[in-house]
Amino acid sequence: MDEEDVSPRMRVLSAEEASYRFHETLLEVLKRLNQAEEERAPPVQGMELVELERIMRTFWTMHPGDEEETAETALRLLLENGLVRERDDPQYAWDRKRTLGTRYTITTLGKSYLVRQLEETERIR
């Protein structure tokens, strides 16, 4: 069986490819959190993990081989590095018609990192 015959989900990624894909996932998480912050009205800010996973499904369909559990891993790494903040204050969100639990928001440091990365890859000018 040739490498061309192997489905993208079955192909083993090199360490460099895997790290690049994970970096793309980190940037996508930051983009989604930034977008949510711009669209949602205070005082209820941030996204729950399940909301983030749901909204990132389109990203994962364009990146075969990536697994949805990488959202949790990405959030953990972003939290450890101060690019994302965790909010544990339960609040009722009228737009979602329910009380929200743990939510994640992008920090100022996360925004500056996102902008810098997008500029470096010439995605924004």
Q: Which range has the worst mean pLDDT, 27-31, 57-61, 86-90, 118-122?
A: 57-61
- Domains, the chain, in order of start with CATH, read 14-120 (1.10.10.10)
In angstroms, the Cα distances linking 22 to 38, 49, 91 are: 24, 17, 31
Which tens digit of pLDDT belongs to each residue from 92-108? 877 777 888 899 999 99
What is the DSSP secondary-structure string of 86-110? EE---EEETTTTEEE-SEEEE-HHH
**Is the pLDDT higher at 81 or at 96?**
81
| pTM score of the predicted model | 0.78
Question: pLDDT-based confidence at 11, cuts 50/70/90?
Answer: low
